Amino acid sequence: MNIAAKIFSVFMTAVLAFGMSGCTAPGKAGRSDINELQSHKGDLLVIVSHPQEAMPAEEYDKAVVRMSVTYDGCAINPNPINNAKVKMPDDEYLRIYNFCVEAAAENRFAGYSEDICVGTTYTFTYYDTEGNAHVLYDGYCYDNKELQDIMKLISKYSLD
């Protein structure tokens, strides 16, 4: 084994050890995981808003809004003027990723509902790294701070 191979082997062992003892809680992704996460393709989180008012189908289709975060670290919050992706800062990307993984693992919003009859319902769907869909929540969420905070975080990347 030549010297370069030995150095590379030692370096990779150190990287692995550092990654395993990183600064995040077990099961949480940290900055050292970003490149791996962002190597996946497709959506990470999709939030679709559904108006609950009576309206013609054509109006309903125009009123449904889909915002998302992709695995490559971009937020997509379309509006009538611009549908571009916006790269998110790593800390906000990780916040959304960890929210999704933890909410799915804990089934955090099972049984949660709000007794409201008008307004907008929201469907939060997380796609794991294998592309499997996990509906985290589906319904009204006006009084749920955690869901509202996630929506606000993604909404700030709207280009208008």
Residue 9 lies in a domain: no
Please tell me the distance from the alpha carbon of residue 37 to that of residue 60, in angstroms, as a whole number: 35
Residue 63 lies in a domain: yes
- In tens digits, the chain (160 residues) has pLDDT values of 566 444 445 444 444 444 433 443 445 767 667 889 889 999 999 999 999 888 888 888 888 889 999 999 999 987 656 667 889 999 999 999 999 999 999 999 999 999 988 899 999 999 999 999 999 999 999 999 999 999 999 988 876 5
Residue 3 lies in a domain: no
Residue 49 lies in a domain: yes
Residue 142 lies in a domain: yes
DSSP state, residue 31: G
Residue 48 lies in a domain: yes
Residue 12 lies in a domain: no
pTM: 0.78
Give the count of domains, the chain: 1
Residue 18 lies in a domain: no
How many C-beta neighbours within 10 Å does residue 119 have? 14
Please tell me the distance from the alpha carbon of residue 102 to that of residue 120, in angstroms, as a whole number: 25
b/e map 82-114, b = 16+ CB within 10 Å: eeebeebeeebbbbbbbbbbebbeeeebeeeee
Question: Residue 134 sits in which domain range?
Answer: 33-155
